[in-house]
Structure 1
Amino acid sequence: MSRFLTKSRFKQALECPNKLFYTKKEEYANSKLEDPFLEALAQGGFQVEELARLHYPDGILIENNDWKYELLAAQTEELLRQENVVIFEAAFKFEALFIRTDILVKRGNEIELIEVKAKSFDPEDENLLVGKRGGLNGSWKLYLFDVAFQKYVIQKCHPEWKIKSYLMLADKSKESPIEGLNQLFRISKTAENRTGITKKMNSLDEIGGSVLGKINIDKILDEIEAGKHLCYENLNLEQSIKIFSEHYAADKLFNSPVSYSNCKGCEFQATEEELAAGKKSGFRECWSSQMGWTEKEFANPVIWEIWKLHYLKGPKLFKDGKYFFQDLNEDDIGVRPEAGKLSPSERQWIQVEKTRTGDSEPHILKEELRQEMSNWKYPLNFIDFETSATALPFNRGRRPYEQVAFQFSHHTVDEAGNVKHESEYIDFEPGNFPNFQFVRELKKALEKNNGSIFKYAAHENTILNVIFQQLKESNEPDKEELQEFIKSISHSTGNGPEEWCGERDMIDLCEVVKHYYYDPHMGGSNSIKAVLPAVLNSSKHLQQKYSMPLQEIDLSSMNFDSGHVWLQIENGKVLSPYKMLPPLFADWTEEQLDATVSGMQDIADGGAALTAYGKLQYTDMPEEERLAIKQSLLKYCELDTLAMVMIWEYFREVVSL
């Protein structure tokens, strides 16, 4: 069977040409799984594509026969015999290259090539695609080369054509003309495991307009074709296409040199569990062949495992041949102490030293932590939000990618240490815009006491700032009251005209961790999913307490029965409570979802919850399945705030020693 270089493979090769050899091979571990159904759920990209097609009501869709490249190209050429035609998913094959276009508009020999993306743009942003210094902006580079690749193949098939190229994106300056715009396109999985789309309208006239806009990118593509913007190393577009195609067609490893930036985030790294299960590691194969690494080297911690290693510092150390923790000294890290807390560079050096000496004891600034905790006021409140940002808005007047807060969990702890799952909220009804009711319920929950409020990382504060602005532009009768509440528990982010810092401004427990605590079990991560197992492994008290059923430790829960046990210990190590939860999607772990979704707009973490919410919003399913997903979301969010409580319990324990 012929192996064609498609546009998705071309983009993958631009990240690292070696990936062409490992991709689509079951024997290799891959943290970024390709499942069009779940990707569509998470991104909402299918909605943008369907809305884009409504801009061209006469368009003809070429569908099915996905892997029959000859047939698809022949069907396209048959349609192109017409003088004027619009084709969705037009297919072009040239030698060992194959592409499909989102929208192709033909008017004689005048062609519009339109690439549709579930990304947003501000039409006032003059430096959206090209930076002030003339280079392509990193977040758009792959998309631009993608369109350049498509144009190259089309031009080879039809050199007589004059092609104009566009990106069609969500325009942040446009408001939705109707309620429930993103509910007009529904998604389902067919019996053949294909993604099916149901439209609830047939024209833009029915909805009064669109929130999409087009950007002409001809000038940028001309520069790419001329070699101003090189594709790979010192190769221009045509050279890159040729060499990628040859290697992929021959199923031959490119043997691209290992590098800090490429290898750090390689999806073909296998975990110890995957290796034990017989999976291969593309990452290991590259480093074994190029650097001669053996099991000994692979067992050594490498520099990209260091927390927050600067994007300039890491590549420089790599270039100097300093790959391992054991190669580093304090000057390499540039250790700069800060009074009263751990500086970022101190944390990095502590991680390096403890890892290479095998010191598993945590590093804690006890006195400083004790002083910090003495400022906290009981009862303590721990909150966690789950949010989504969709390309197509929920409501009339809303813009693309406005944040939607659909869920929170709230635990309290009194001065005696009694823990209570105090309240929770979730709105999973399709088409609802929950933000204002979300704040009303949060206000009701947090105004029951005057205690300190805790978040984990900046997300909750950011979301409240967004909702503050949404309220300002709304006609809600209680908007001023809700805005005052938001100001009382948050601080302004500087993105609006008003500045504030509330009397109960949320305390960031993640910052507390960064400033006063490091445990080698955390590795290079300060995420709550790394910190929680670390504190549980350090504390015999927490191990004993949470190894008992909820009813025996007098711990209330809104989503788990009284016999639920949070901790299990295997081979002397505590299993993370997150591992005790059933996956939201049977075939994907939370880590895989996060890895796949992390490349999306404004998403850093939380891929599982976001994708589950997408499924609730855009998928027609039995009510029992909807309720099961809702219950899973409630369990996940409850654990997030209970995890914060457990971290607090550990800190209270260590400062009292």
Structure 2
Amino acid sequence: MTENQRYLTKSRFTLGMDCPTKLFYAGNPDIYPDASIEDTFLKSLAENGYHVGALAQQYHPGGHAVSTLNPEEALAQTERLLEQDEVTIYEAAFRFDDLFIRVDILVKKGNQIDLIEVKAKSYDKEKDGSLATSNGKPRAKWLPYLLDIAFQKYVVTKALPDSHIRAWLMPVDKQAVCPTHTLHQKISIDENRDPSGSPGVQSEPLTSDELEQRLLCKIPVDMHCEWIQQHSFVEAIGPPDFVERINWLAAHYRRNEKLVTPIKPQCAKCEFRPKTADSLSELKSGFEECWREQLSWGDEDFKEPNVLDIWNLSAGKKKELFDEKLIKLDHIQKQHIQPKPNEVPGISASERQWLQVEKHQNRDSEPYFDGPGLLREMKSWKYPLHFIDFETTMPAIPFHRGRRPYEQIAFQFSHHTVSRDHHVCHAGEFIDLSPGSFPNYAFLRELKRQLSQDDGTIFRYSQHENTVLLQIYEQLLSDSDAPSDRDELLEFIRTISTAGDKWSGKRTMVDLCEMVVSYYYSPRTKGSNSIKKVLPAIIEESTFLRETYSQPVYGAQNGIPSFNFSDHQWIHIADGNASDPYSTLVGLSEYAVADGGNALAAYAKAQRIDTSSQQHAETVKALLRYCELDTLAMVMIYQAWADRAGLS
């Protein structure tokens, strides 16, 4: 193996099975940036994976870690360890032809070798059942994981032809119960990354309870590996046979040759593009390169919206349009969307889709605003209006005894009010980052106290808050040590939430996002209804918001009351353009939180026993500021609409 030898590894194989062209981009990172590396939400998911991997090693104690990043050294260490009759190895290395893998956990007993692939994905035996259908075909949601372990088994079988190889998948057991308050804290992530880009993971020894009451389960997958090897894959390019496909991907990757995959709707998820246009001067967008080559597009073509930007367009419809080479919105005709009216107030989903297309085709940059329809909704709202936002996390390894993996933790909320005379106030908040504290019931109790002062209309943005309340409802019902006020808390949840056909509370929260979908559309949002996209668009369109918040009135005396800001100016105008309020959070502290991924990471860091009191305090401040802006953003949307509808 030479220093610059290119091998098809587990991650590269997975990438190539997703899209063969991505192998070329991944193999040339100095030219084609991978945006997923800097994605804060994906980073938080990766940390779950590191925790689960370390826990799996604890469940297989006494193992030898092959920690070197040098492939030759890793192979040599693995070979020496395998000379033992019985041995457990973490990150064992194997090579066969152009293939090179590291096995999460390998257990050798005589001639039998178990390969254990550890995954942070949850598995619920009652709901998920078998990983395959009745005819043996892997279920779609498990296929990527089974392909991964099948690839590993193939390589190890070839590398050790005289051994009996068994394959196992080790996911998180959704039905397991955490035995202690300290399990999560015993596995810590070192923020200083090693040369591979992975953080160091430190683990403390587990107690007997923590070892016996396992949060991970082991599923035999040999039959699934065999099915994969014996069946063909229908792909756009390349051989359908599993082994032939492995060798095909490996050969092209070794030679650094690009495989050209036909563009398709899945290109929307391509990670190989710079996050900002400025970085394109030095780097290339893999996404754009594919489209340039196959569609003969130039720079101007990418400035125009395409079918991937159409809000909520079904996968089938996108494929149909791609198959007909109808990519740009200028190519779409009304019969392709077939807009049909709603039976309820507001524009329908299909009408909104056609509105998006039509506005672009007419080069109409003005927002759509159904003033009369929105005014009807507003007249049904009771003052004072309440705007709430939750910050939550669902860790793979629970922070608290008695909780299950990926169980919801609600650790923070913010609460703004708007009075009948349109006075805005940051009315309340809650945060609990105390290590070992299960905050949900205190969170709910304080939310109840703040919202029970009147019967004003309550607003959320999208489904998250409703979902979280229903999850806490189930926690209260199933908790053998439920609080004495459980019935009152359950009744409160039923009052302000909706649970399908079970109930719709007399004061159920109004979804402001649904109001956006039904009564408002701005071409500036590019089809997105995320509040992070809607708010900047509305600010650009609202003179009221720009005039109000371009002054340091927030948290000012005789201004808008705030718990966490003083004399703050949310909007800065430069060259006629208004800044995004979220950008003002970044410079406030080195611990600044400016998006949901940062919030997840901040909570997890606060739970660590090695977090200093100063770090903990600064994290609390940063989260309070971030969550407060989330509810203020909702207020701003309301204010802009009220002003335009003539209410303010």
Residue 380 of structure 2: aligned partner: 375
Matches for 1:40-55 after TM superposition, within 5 Å: 43-55=47-59
1:326 to 301, 326, 330: 330
How far apart, CA to CA, are the structure 1 residues paired with 2:476 and 2:417?
A: 28
How far apart, CA to CA, are the structure 2 residues paired with 1:76 and 1:45?
A: 23
Which stretch of structure 1 is more off in the superposition, 193-202 or 92-101? 193-202
1:167 to 156, 166, 169: 169
Secondary structure of 1:644's aligned partner:
helix
Q: Residues 176 and 359 of structure 1: is their aligned pair in 2 closer, same or farther, counting only changes over 3 Å?
A: same
- Note if contact 1:177-1:208 (Cα within 8 Å) is conserved in structure 2: no
How far apart, CA to CA, are the structure 1 residues paired with 2:493 and 2:563?
A: 26
How far apart, CA to CA, are the structure 1 residues paired with 2:449 and 2:591?
A: 38
1:291 to 295, 311, 325: 295
1:412 to 407, 412, 417: 417
The CA deviation at 1:18 is 1.3
Unmatched 5+ residue regions in structure 1?
Answer: 592-605
Matches for 1:49-448 after TM superposition, within 5 Å: 49-63=53-67, 65-66=68-69, 68-125=70-127, 129-131=131-133, 135-190=137-192, 195-202=199-206, 204-205=208-209, 208-229=212-233, 233=237, 234-261=239-266, 263-271=267-275, 273-275=277-279, 277-339=281-343, 340-448=345-453
Which stretch of structure 1 is more off in the superposition, 204-213 or 378-387? 204-213
Residue 491 of structure 1: aligned partner: 498
1:537 to 513, 535, 540: 540
Residue 611 of structure 2: aligned partner: 621
How far apart, CA to CA, are the structure 2 residues paired with 1:191 and 1:256?
A: 34
- Note if contact 2:591-2:622 (Cα within 8 Å) is conserved in structure 1: no
How far apart, CA to CA, are the structure 2 residues paired with 1:38 and 1:634?
A: 22
Q: Residues 325 and 639 of structure 1: is their aligned pair in 2 closer, same or farther, counting only changes over 3 Å?
A: same
Percent identity for Structure 1 against Structure 2: 42
How far apart, CA to CA, are the structure 2 residues paired with 1:133 and 1:420?
A: 60
Matches for 1:629-644 after TM superposition, within 5 Å: 629-644=619-634
- Note if contact 1:204-1:210 (Cα within 8 Å) is conserved in structure 2: no
Q: Residues 588 and 351 of structure 1: is their aligned pair in 2 closer, same or farther, counting only changes over 3 Å?
A: farther
Q: Residues 186 and 272 of structure 1: is their aligned pair in 2 closer, same or farther, counting only changes over 3 Å?
A: closer
The CA deviation at 1:221 is 0.8
- Note if contact 2:170-2:219 (Cα within 8 Å) is conserved in structure 1: yes
Residue 603 of structure 1: aligned partner: none
The root-mean-square deviation of aligned C-alpha atoms, in Å, is: 2.5
- Note if contact 1:456-1:508 (Cα within 8 Å) is conserved in structure 2: yes
What do the CA deviations read for 1:571-599 (whole angstroms, capped 9, x no partner)? 322221112221899899967xxxxxxxx
The CA deviation at 1:128 is 5.2
- Note if contact 1:171-1:400 (Cα within 8 Å) is conserved in structure 2: yes
The CA deviation at 1:40 is 6.2
Secondary structure of 1:483's aligned partner:
helix
Residue 525 of structure 2: aligned partner: 522
Secondary structure of 2:273's aligned partner:
coil
Secondary structure of 2:125's aligned partner:
coil
Which stretch of structure 1 is more off in the superposition, 632-641 or 582-591? 582-591
The CA deviation at 1:272 is 5.3
The CA deviation at 1:512 is 0.8
- Note if contact 1:112-1:163 (Cα within 8 Å) is conserved in structure 2: yes
Which stretch of structure 1 is more off in the superposition, 237-246 or 128-137? 128-137
What do the CA deviations read for 1:152-203 (whole angstroms, capped 9, x no partner)? 1111101122222111111122212222321221222348676233323245
Q: Residues 347 and 127 of structure 1: is their aligned pair in 2 closer, same or farther, counting only changes over 3 Å?
A: farther
- Determine which structure has greater relative contact order: mean sequence separation of CA pairs < 8 Å that are 6+ residues apart, divided by chain length: 1
Which stretch of structure 1 is more off in the superposition, 195-204 or 177-186? 195-204
The CA deviation at 1:531 is 0.9
Secondary structure of 1:169's aligned partner:
strand
Residue 595 of structure 1: aligned partner: none
- Note if contact 1:102-1:114 (Cα within 8 Å) is conserved in structure 2: yes
The CA deviation at 1:236 is 2.1
What do the CA deviations read for 1:395-446 (whole angstroms, capped 9, x no partner)? 2221111111011000000001100001111111222211111101111111
Residue 655 of structure 1: aligned partner: 645
Does 2:9 align with 1:6? yes
2:22 to 10, 19, 23: 19
How far apart, CA to CA, are the structure 2 residues paired with 1:402 and 1:201?
A: 24
The aligned amino acid for 1:15 is D
The aligned amino acid for 2:406 is Y
What count of residue pairs does the alignment treat as equivalent?
635
How far apart, CA to CA, are the structure 2 residues paired with 1:583 and 1:216?
A: 51
TM-score in terms of structure 2 length = 0.93
Does 2:549 align with 1:546? yes
Q: Residues 134 and 527 of structure 1: is their aligned pair in 2 closer, same or farther, counting only changes over 3 Å?
A: farther
The CA deviation at 1:329 is 0.7
- Note if contact 1:115-1:167 (Cα within 8 Å) is conserved in structure 2: yes
The aligned amino acid for 1:630 is V
How far apart, CA to CA, are the structure 2 residues paired with 1:125 and 1:539?
A: 48
Q: Residues 276 and 46 of structure 1: is their aligned pair in 2 closer, same or farther, counting only changes over 3 Å?
A: closer
Secondary structure of 2:36's aligned partner:
coil
How far apart, CA to CA, are the structure 1 residues paired with 2:560 and 2:400?
A: 39
Q: Residues 121 and 208 of structure 1: is their aligned pair in 2 closer, same or farther, counting only changes over 3 Å?
A: same
The CA deviation at 1:629 is 2.3
Q: Residues 126 and 186 of structure 1: is their aligned pair in 2 closer, same or farther, counting only changes over 3 Å?
A: closer
- Note if contact 1:225-1:237 (Cα within 8 Å) is conserved in structure 2: yes
TM-score in terms of structure 1 length = 0.91
Residue 450 of structure 1: aligned partner: 455
Unmatched 5+ residue regions in structure 2?
Answer: none
How far apart, CA to CA, are the structure 1 residues paired with 2:223 and 2:42?
A: 35
How far apart, CA to CA, are the structure 2 residues paired with 1:109 and 1:542?
A: 72
How far apart, CA to CA, are the structure 1 residues paired with 2:129 and 2:219?
A: 13
Secondary structure of 1:147's aligned partner:
helix
Q: Residues 278 and 324 of structure 1: is their aligned pair in 2 closer, same or farther, counting only changes over 3 Å?
A: same
The CA deviation at 1:624 is 2.1
Q: Residues 108 and 622 of structure 1: is their aligned pair in 2 closer, same or farther, counting only changes over 3 Å?
A: same
